[in-house]
Amino acid sequence: MSRLLVDTGPLVAWLDRRDQDHARVTAFLTEFRGRLSTTWPVLTEVCHLIPSHLVPRFLRWAAVAVEVHDLPATALADIAARIEKYHDLPMDLADASLVWLADRTGATDILTLDKRDFGVYRLSGGQRFHNVLASA
């Protein structure tokens, strides 16, 4: 696995020692050898959910450890269509941006705690995501 998409939940769990998934995520990240990839909406969501004093440390770590992808304005209509398609879950901007990124890069391996939603989401060609935490 060369590129691993990363969702909000594992990043929050990794930063919060009291989180029920902290040990599992930390063990995975300690052993992981590859590239973490995510989007700005995911980083924004993490920064909103963690204590404010951890935000600078997290951003410094992400600057060297995570490949952060911009969303061009041309992606917004596609992302809006995905949010409409999965309105019953509902799909948020961070999740939609990861599905968009998967379509652009071909990466289907994802580090997420959101088994339900990423078990339902599909790429444009119908491919499923492979949740690496589900098999860890």
pLDDT in tens, 4-47: 999 999 999 999 999 999 999 999 999 999 999 999 999 999 99
The torsion angle over the Cα atoms of residues 42, 111, 101 and 8, rounded to 10 degrees, is -10
Tokens of 12: 């929050």
Q: Is residue 136 in some structural domain?
A: no
Domains of the chain: total: 1
Q: Is residue 54 in some structural domain?
A: yes
CATH classification at residue 117 = 3.40.50.1010
* The model scores a pTM over 0.75: yes
Task: Decide: 108 and 123 in contact? Cβ < 8 Å.
Answer: yes
The pLDDT value given to residue 44:
98
Taking alpha carbons only, the member of 106, 111, 134, 101 closest to residue 30 is: 111
Taking alpha carbons only, the member of 16, 113, 11, 22 closest to residue 68 is: 11
Residue 126 belongs to domain spanning: 3-131
Check the annotation: does 7 bind a ligand.
yes
Radius of gyration of the chain (CA): 14
The pLDDT value given to residue 1:
57
136 confidence band (pLDDT: 50, 70, 90)? low
Q: Is residue 87 in some structural domain?
A: yes
Task: Decide: 100 and 74 in contact? Cβ < 8 Å.
Answer: no
For 88-106, the pLDDT digits (tens) are 999 999 999 999 999 999 9
Average pLDDT rounded to a whole number, residues 55-76: 97
Tokens of 14: 């990794």
- Other beta carbons within 10 Å of 67: 16
Query: Over pLDDT 70: what percentage of the chain?
Result: 99
Q: For residue 117, which amino acid is it? A: D
